[in-house]
Structure 1
Amino acid sequence: MWAALRFRLLPAVKLYLLGFKVLLAQLLSKPLRLPVMPRQDGKVAIVTGGGRGIGYEVVRHLARLGAHVIIVEFEKLDLASLQSIHQFAERFKKRDLPLNILVNNAGVMLVPEGRTEDGFEQHFGVNYLGHFLLTWLLLDTLKDSGKSGPVSCVVSVSSSAHSVGKITLNDLNSCQHYSAHAAYCQSKLAQALFSCHLQQEMHRDGSPVVSCAVDPGMVDTALYQHLCTPLRLAQSLIARLFFRTPAEGAATVLSAALSPALNGDLGGGYWANGRREMTSASPFDSQLRLSLWEISLQLLGLQ
């Protein structure tokens, strides 16, 4: 009993301490402002979770710049269903459109224990596997679109929570012990590992696609709705005063999505606070990246 309690409490303590540290850093930093970006006429972008929060702001700015933006919401693409993802990708490809920017933004946080339609733990299934499959199915289109102009870009919206996450390769679905905090952190670490490995694969093949992971910071969105009632009430008050706005959170996402294509830099990297903070995958264990990649392909029936 005590071991199970410790397993539940420790990830929560780590995550909330990290949140306090991030919030303090945000308070001491200047507000983020989106740099001036050139027109994106003729480009096509897909943004998951584009109906609200950070995703909505990303969509709004891309549309202002002239991009053709496809907003992917739950009704059109259920990231908890592999069948729905396959169907969406097929519908998109039938439109014979290019794809220059893919923003893997949608996600869940601290949801109660549950499984997706295909039996995966919800954080792992929605935040990570769903976006892995979506990217994989659209990768050929991204490659083709990058050949005729600026490179295409895949932006995976991760979180600083990845730094306290742990990948348990023999229990990715958190069957042995369930902690919503641990599951969320694992999914965000998995996203960062995926982004790094995808960049390595694209660079090795000489493909005109860059892959970036982004930490938008602590942003005032609906992502915190599953906090327990006392914490949710406190978060609601603190968020209005100290969290970043969705527009500020979107600034880093947009910088990552547009800057590599503008300067021809194939470095990908990890972005936070409006800039690229890590230029390579070196902070992440290469063997862990490869193992997770291969297991994910097997889970998704891609091998």
Structure 2
Amino acid sequence: MWLLAFVLPIIRLYLIGIKVLLYQLFNKSFPLPVFPKQNGRVAIVTGGARGMGYETARHLTSLGMHVVIAGNCEEEGVAAVKKIQEEQNEGNVEFQNIDLASLKSVRQFVHKFKDRGLLLHVLVNNAGVMLVPERKTEDGFELQFGLNYLGHFLLTNLLLDTLKKSGTADSCARIVTVSSATHYGGVISLDDLQGRSCYCSHGAYSQSKLALVLFTYHLQQRLTSEGFPVMANAVDPGMVNTDLYQNLCSPAQLVKQPVAWLLFRTPAQGASTSIYAAASPEMEGVGGCYLYNGRRTQSSEASYDEDLQAELWRQSCALVGLPEEGHQAE
């Protein structure tokens, strides 16, 4: 029984990976259209110092946005800011430290951001880790669930009041959350969200990405029912050649290198759907979607389970110390 619980998530993840690669073999990457300038809008991009996050931050800056790169490595973040500034003549970009594996750090980040009195029009929940060995965050959560999901859950909730104030009827604020095709193989065990009964890094990663989709749908339902001008969408970047795959086992690493060169998307291509969700006029007033390769797509059957969405939300609030309704002003 234990062996089955460990092996099945691995098989599911690699089968999903093969399916995605076949799609990418026969379908071109979504080409970003030219968007109108977005001067005066403010964006936060988590994990914006490298990979897809960097490409997202770079593009949003080029549109004239004031972009805050949120990351946990100051040296990397400062270097990313310098590189974007050298390349761009417009827009404004800066780095602010956050460790999404620390609830205290998330709260400190939000407090510092709010102290500046800035509006917030776009939040891109991009940062993540994948297939890490069993480790815990400083708050005692399984790392992939804690960083990929709970850190972003808390960050989004703490910034919701600013997003609500920043959006207008004809120009909504936007929350873009980066999930993954692996969510199709994800299973949410409400009795064991931390994977303590049997830890499998593949299952834990898939679970964290499913949790992000469930969170996005439930959040949009709440925002819509309350009538706030904020739209939340989940995006799937496909398989992208970034450092995210550094924890693959050695045989998989050997196979990955030539396959990535042939079939993986570049970070810029992977970021295109996030940028589309964050900046496209076509997405104005559109929320509660799962976007893949620039198109609205069906997510997993489990992700539409409203009871599961609500219960995950309730448990997540308890885990991060929020009231059950979620939002809490700093």
Indicate whether the TM-score tops 0.5: yes
Q: How far apart are the structure 1 equivalents of 2:160 and 2:106?
A: 14
Q: How far apart are the structure 1 equivalents of 2:289 and 2:11?
A: 28
Q: How far apart are the structure 1 equivalents of 2:302 and 2:245?
A: 31
Give yes or no for contact 1:159–1:217 (8 Å, CA) kept in 2: yes
Partner of 2:218: 197
Q: How far apart are the structure 2 equivalents of 1:293 and 1:77?
A: 23
- The code of the aligned residue for 2:305 comes to D
Question: Per the alignment, in what secondary structure is the counterpart of residue 167 of structure 2?
Answer: helix
Shift of 1:241: 1.4
Shift of 1:233: 2.2
CA distances 1:111-150 after superposition (whole Å, capped 9, x unpaired): 0001000000011100000000000010000000003751
Give yes or no for contact 1:203–1:266 (8 Å, CA) kept in 2: no
Q: Percent identity?
A: 54
Shift of 1:263: 5.6
Q: How far apart are the structure 1 equivalents of 2:297 and 2:216?
A: 14
- The code of the aligned residue for 2:246 comes to Q
Partner of 1:108: 129
- The code of the aligned residue for 2:173 comes to S
Q: How far apart are the structure 2 equivalents of 1:282 and 1:241?
A: 32
Q: Select the residue among 50, 54, 57 that pairs with 1:56.
A: 54
**Residue 267 in 1 paired to residue 287 in 2?**
yes
Q: How far apart are the structure 2 equivalents of 1:276 and 1:183?
A: 26
Q: How far apart are the structure 2 equivalents of 1:251 and 1:288?
A: 30
Q: Select the residue among 107, 120, 125 that pairs with 2:141.
A: 120
Q: Select the residue among 25, 28, 31 that pairs with 1:30.
A: 28
* Poorly superposed stretches of 4+, deviation over 4 Å: none
Change (3 A) 1:153 1:126: same
Q: TM-score, normalized by length of structure 1?
A: 0.95
Partner of 1:136: 157
The more displaced of 262-271 and 283-292 is 262-271
Q: Select the residue among 286, 292, 301 that pairs with 2:306.
A: 286
The more displaced of 116-125 and 270-279 is 270-279
Q: How far apart are the structure 2 equivalents of 1:262 and 1:150?
A: 12
**Residue 91 in 1 paired to residue 89 in 2?**
no
Q: How far apart are the structure 1 equivalents of 2:70 and 2:283?
A: 28
Correspondence list, 1:1-303, <5 A: 3-75=1-73, 76-147=97-168, 150-259=171-280, 264-278=284-298, 284-303=304-323
Q: How far apart are the structure 2 equivalents of 1:263 and 1:101?
A: 12
CA distances 1:191-241 after superposition (whole Å, capped 9, x unpaired): 000000011000000001000000000000000000011111221221111
Shift of 1:8: 1.4
Q: How far apart are the structure 1 equivalents of 2:32 and 2:16?
A: 25
Give yes or no for contact 1:45–1:69 (8 Å, CA) kept in 2: yes
The more displaced of 139-148 and 213-222 is 139-148
Give yes or no for contact 2:303–2:309 (8 Å, CA) kept in 1: no
Shift of 1:32: 2.1
Partner of 2:81: none
Give yes or no for contact 1:49–1:56 (8 Å, CA) kept in 2: yes
Q: How far apart are the structure 2 equivalents of 1:85 and 1:125?
A: 12
Q: How far apart are the structure 1 equivalents of 2:317 and 2:210?
A: 17
Q: How far apart are the structure 2 equivalents of 1:199 and 1:117?
A: 30
Shift of 1:41: 0.4
Question: Per the alignment, in what secondary structure is the counterpart of residue 139 of structure 1?
Answer: helix
Question: Per the alignment, in what secondary structure is the counterpart of residue 127 of structure 2?
Answer: coil
